[in-house]
Amino acid sequence: MSRLRCMLRGIDIRICIVLLIAIPVFMFGIYLHGQKITYFLRPLWGSPPKPFHEIPHYYNENVTMERLCHLHGWKVRESPRRVFDAVLFNNEIDILALRWNELSPYVTQFVLLESNSTFTSLPKPLLFAGNRHQFKFVEPRLTYGMIGGRFKKGENPFVEEAYQRVALDQLLRIAGIEEDDLLTMSDVDEIPSGHTINLLRWCDDIPPVIHLQLRNYLYSFEYHVDNKSWRASVHRYKPGKTRYAHYRQSDIILSDSGWHCSFCFRYVSEFIFKMKAYSHTDRVRFPHYLNPKRIQDVICKGADLFDMLPEEYTFKEIIGKMGPIPHSYSAVHLPAYLLNNAEKYKYLLPGNCRRESG
């Protein structure tokens, strides 16, 4: 006891009080903002992916296809390749309408697979099946499939996602895809422009696999994030080799090839559903993230639904993208179907951030 008294005499009581306050506050700060700290320090522990070889993209409606192919270093074909557009469907009815109307003049067969389970094993209704009447214009060219979910609680969501993508491979074979047909691989909200697909179906000597650089938007076409979306790809189909996937499969990318409109929903309830349903469900770290009023406020501010820092590899890029996305009031070079039906889809256009409750 005498030794303890000696030790205590040597410690300033003020230091003890500071430590008793500071340590819990520090630990609570780590709990709240640990993810942000990790993302901010990413340049110290993460390496950027290998840069793509970017092909310049030439297009004007008054330039012939022969000339456009020549500008890209390719030759024009005597007849176009067949095109298969394949997607896994979750709940993006409006965005699917934009996509299929944009691509309809150029696609031979639309292939869609939906499940009664989300990637996170939550049950979900078959929304496409219930709204199929809205897509009568593609019905003669539609191969539709439904796959039952496995509902394995606690499983990594990417396992269920991979399981559904394998099923989509099988559905493509049922749809009649053959060697050298073009196959687009992208999520529903990753929309290739129609003239891009038309170029690739008419030109010879295009790469076997080419990624599409898309303009990246969040919540609507009012919030232009950057031009770095790259996961969409087009493949010259090879039986036994081509597999439907959503990762990098080539080092070649075609510039300015369409639009990626992420979390572009009409109803707040759709935002909540996707936040709980998609593969990155771990980003919903706190229950209040799903509060409808908070979600509406975040949308109108152009802030991040998950309160995350930008996923970049240099401090310059991270700092440059911190904070809300600047508003854009340009509606130039957007899907024609969107502009022709602006009243119906006004929530996707600049100046219309308010969402319906749903």
293 and 333 part of one domain:
yes
Nearest Cα neighbor of 81 from 248, 165, 199 is 199
320 and 219 part of one domain:
no
Cα of first residue to Cα of last residue in the chain, in angstroms, is 68
Would the CA dihedral through 182, 209, 337, 165 be positive or negative?
positive
Task: Please check whether residue 83 is in contact with residue 177, taking contact to mean a CB–CB distance below 8 angstroms.
Answer: no
Digit-coded pLDDT (tens) for 100-128: 999 999 999 999 999 998 888 888 999 99
Asked if residue 352 is part of any domain, the answer here is no
Question: What residue numbers bound the domain in which 311 lies?
Answer: 267-346
Nearest Cα neighbor of 325 from 165, 172, 217 is 217
Interhelix angle for 268-277 vs 292-301, to 10°?
100
238 and 310 part of one domain:
no
Given 230, 260, 290, the domain boundary residue is 260
Query: Is pLDDT at 320 greater than 90 in this prediction?
Result: no
- What the block records as the tokens of 343 is 């009243």
337 and 225 part of one domain:
no
237 and 281 part of one domain:
no
- What the block records as the tokens of 211 is 């990624």
Digit-coded pLDDT (tens) for 177-197: 999 999 999 999 999 999 999
Asked if residue 129 is part of any domain, the answer here is yes
163 and 304 part of one domain:
no
Asked if residue 291 is part of any domain, the answer here is yes
Task: Please check whether residue 253 is in contact with residue 206, taking contact to mean a CB–CB distance below 8 angstroms.
Answer: no
Digit-coded pLDDT (tens) for 198-246: 999 999 999 999 999 999 999 999 999 999 999 999 999 999 999 999 9
234 and 298 part of one domain:
no
74 and 119 part of one domain:
yes
What DSSP character marks residue 100?
H
Asked if residue 231 is part of any domain, the answer here is yes
94 and 137 part of one domain:
yes
184 and 273 part of one domain:
no
194 and 334 part of one domain:
no
If one counts the domains in the chain, the total is 2
Given 236, 260, 284, the domain boundary residue is 260
Among 33-37, 140-144, 183-187, 249-253, which is the least confidently predicted range?
33-37
Residues in the chain: 358
247 and 326 part of one domain:
no
Reduced to 3 states, what is the DSSP secondary structure of residue 178?
A: coil
